[in-house]
Amino acid sequence: MSYKVLAEIIQEAERERKSFWEIILDEDCRESGLSREESLQKMSAMYTAMKEADSNYDASARSASGMAGGDGKILEDFRKKKNCLIGDFLTKVMEKAVKMGESNACMKRIVAAPTAGSCGVIPAVLITYEEERKISQNKIVEALYIAGGIGEVLAESAEISGAKGGCQAEIGSASAMAAGAITYLEGGDNETIAHAAALALKNMLGLTCDPVGGLVEVPCIKRNVSGAVNAIIASQMAIAGIRSKIPPDEVIDSMRRIGDLLPECLRETSKEGLAVTPTALNKM
């Protein structure tokens, strides 16, 4: 993708008098050689795969390590008790984020968004939104182009790999992508979308990648929940009119610099952090 900063996408959208998502769709067609209809069909297929992964969740499945599985059902049961503290929407988001992460750990089919370790964030937010708001899948597909555009900028200007940038690059990126997508669905303009992504990413800066046993299970799966809920909070702040005091592209650049500063032991090597606690070492 030719866009390396969010500001370029917004400027192009203003020149062309188009939405953020249409600019990314146009760029995808130029890069891939696909027609508009073919690109839309491909994105729709990805979203369908996300929904199938959600609906095919197996509460009895356990990962080979035995560390992952079953927590999605616990959250589902909790949601059905009509918890009044955070409400059904957020509880459903939490449930779906865990279910997707557990499905990944149990070798089920998922969609990396942008990575397998962060696969639960975007589906949890968008599938819940579709179910609760009763909107069309076509609208969700448009939102996915926004998520994709934000993800491409993050990949070009920072990192989306935990091994290179820490978990901020995986869960943080997914959270920013989801925040931008749901902001669009809530009626936010292009500037609001960018600031929602920035607000979400700021909350994840410095997050280390310290998987127990080198597996994308503990603490990765539960971090998907944090990333998903964080995306909604950031989106709501942006929709309310709050703007990031640090411009969105400067936030992204900060994530890159922080990732570069993280020592190797905190970048998916399992040499520090939660990965070397006594309990973790007993599981390795």
pLDDT < 50 positions in the chain: none
- Looking at residue 1, what is its pLDDT? 60
Asked, for residue 127, whether it belongs to a domain, the answer is: yes
For residue 219, being part of any structural domain is answered with yes
CATH of the domain at 44: 1.10.4100
Task: Tell me what pLDDT residue 82 has.
Answer: 80
Q: How many domains does the chain have?
A: 1
Q: What is the pLDDT of residue 267?
A: 98
User: Residue 237 falls within a domain, yes or no?
Assistant: yes
Long-range contacts of 274-282 (CB under 8 A, 24+ apart): 274/210, 274/212, 274/218, 274/219, 275/210, 275/211, 275/212, 275/213, 275/214, 280/212, 280/213, 280/218
Exposure string for 157-175, b = 16+ CB within 10 A, e = fewer: bbbbbbebbbbbbbbbbbb
Whether the CB-CB separation of 176 and 230 falls below 8 Å is answered with no
The answer to whether 123 and 50 have CB atoms below 8 angstroms apart is: yes
Assigned domain for 1 exists: no
Displacement of CA 270 from its chain's centroid (Å):
22
pLDDT at 32: 96
Query: How far, in Å, CA of 79 to CA of 14, rounded?
Result: 42
Domain assignment of residue 100, yes or no: yes
Asked if residue 238 is part of any domain, the answer here is: yes
The burial class, CB within 10 Å (0-12 / 13-18 / 19+), for 222 is middle
Range of the structural domain that residue 118 is part of: 6-283
Quick one: pLDDT at residue 25? 98
pLDDT at position 72 is 98
Q: Determine the pLDDT at residue 283.
A: 79
Residue 284: the pLDDT is: 67
In a domain, 163, yes or no: yes
Whether 168 maps to a domain, the answer reads: yes
| The token pair that represents 125 in the structure block | 């937010």
Q: Say how many residues make up the chain.
A: 284
The pair of structure tokens assigned to 164 is: 């290179």
Q: CB 97: neighbour CB atoms within 10 A? A: 32
Cα(200)–Cα(276) distance, integer angstroms: 28
Whole-number Å distance between alpha carbons of 95 and 73 = 8
